Amino acid sequence: MKLNRFRFLGRGLAGLALAGLLLPFNTTHSQPAPGVVVPPGESLQLGLAVSLSGETLPEAGTDVLYAVNLALETVNAAGGVRGFPLSLVIEDDQCAPAQASLAADVLVQQPYLVAVIGHLCSGPTLAALPTYQAVGIPVISPSATAAALSQVEGNLFSRTILSDTQQGVVAARYIAEVLGVQQIALAHDGGSYGAGLAEIVATTLTEDLGGGLLTTLVLDPADTDYADDLAPLALSGNAPELIYFGGYSDEASLLLEALRTLQLDETILFSGDGIKNDAFLERLGALSEGSYATLAAPDEAMDARIAEFDTRYEAAYGVAPSILGPYHTNAYDAVGIVLAALNQVAEVNAEGALVIDRAELAAAIRATENYNGLSGILTCDAVGDCGSGSIQVFQVIEGVFVQLELPEDLLRPATPEAAGD
**Mean pLDDT of the region 325-338:** 98
Question: 3-class SS at 272?
Answer: coil
Average of per-residue pLDDT across 180-209: 97
**Residue spans per domain, the chain:** 5-161+327-378, 165-298+390-411
CA gap 268, 291 in Å, rounded: 6
User: Average pLDDT for residues 34-57, to the nearest whole number?
Assistant: 96
Reduce the DSSP state of residue 394 to 3 states and report it.
Answer: strand
pLDDT of residue 160: 98
The pLDDT of residue 415 is above 50 = yes
- For the chain, what's the residue count? 421
- Residue 420 pLDDT > 80: no
pLDDT attached to residue 417:
47
Would 5-161+327-378 and 165-298+390-411 be classified into the same CATH topology? yes
Sign of CA dihedral 90, 55, 142, 190: negative
Contact at 8 Å (CB) between 93 and 100? yes
| Residue-wise pLDDT tens digits, 46-98 | 999 999 999 999 999 999 999 999 999 999 999 999 999 999 999 999 999 99
Percent of the chain with pLDDT over 70: 90
Sequence-ordered list of residues with C-beta below 8 angstroms from that of 89, at least 6 positions apart, any chain: 16, 19, 20, 45, 46, 47, 48, 106, 107, 110, 113
Averaged pLDDT, 3-26: 34
Look at 259 and 14; give whichever has higher pLDDT.
259
Q: Which CATH class is domain 5-161+327-378?
A: alpha beta
Contact yes or no for 257/249 (Cβ under 8 A): no
Helix (H, G, I), strand (E, B) or coil at 180: coil
- pLDDT at residue 413, rounded to an integer: 81
The partner residues of 116 in beta bridges, in order of sequence, read 47, 139
State how far the Cα of 62 lies from the Cα of 323, in Å rounded to an integer: 11
Task: Place 27 in a pLDDT band, splitting at 50, 70 and 90.
Answer: very low
Whether the per-residue pLDDT at 25 is higher than 80: the answer is no
Predicted pLDDT of residue 290: 98
Band (pLDDT 50/70/90 cuts) for residue 24 is very low
Between CA 37 and CA 53 the distance in angstroms is: 33
How far apart (Å, rounded) are the C-alpha atoms in residues 324 and 64? 9
Q: Which CATH superfamily is domain 165-298+390-411 in?
A: Response regulator (3.40.50.2300)
Q: At residue 300, does pLDDT exceed 90?
A: no
Asked whether the predicted pLDDT for residue 2 surpasses 90, the reply is no
For position 230, what pLDDT does the model report? 96
Calpha distance 105→366 (Å, rounded)? 24
What is the C-alpha to C-alpha distance for residues 421 and 415, in angstroms, rounded to an integer?
9
What is the pLDDT confidence band of residue 33, given thresholds at 50, 70 and 90?
A: low
| Residue 116: φ, ψ to 5° | -125, 135
Going by their DSSP bridges, the two strands 347-348 and 354-357 should be labelled as antiparallel
Mean pLDDT of 315-329: 96
Mean pLDDT score, 307-327: 96
User: Are the C-beta atoms of 27 and 105 separated by less than 8 Å?
Assistant: yes
What does the pLDDT average to over 201-212?
Answer: 97
In this prediction, residues 312-319 reach a mean pLDDT of: 98
Q: What is the pLDDT of residue 198?
A: 98
The answer on pLDDT for 8 being more than 50 is no
Residue 69 CB-density burial (10 A; 0-12 exposed, 13-18 middle, 19+ buried): buried
Give one DSSP letter per residue of 148-178, joined into a string: GGGG-SSSSEEESS--HHHHHHHHHHIIIII
Q: Give yes or no for residue 9 having a pLDDT over 90.
A: no
For the CA atoms of 294, 300, 304, 305, the dihedral, rounded to the nearest 10 degrees, stands at -70
Task: Considering only residues 237 and 278, tell me which one the structure prediction assigns the higher pLDDT.
Answer: 278
Q: pTM, whole model, 2 decimals?
A: 0.90
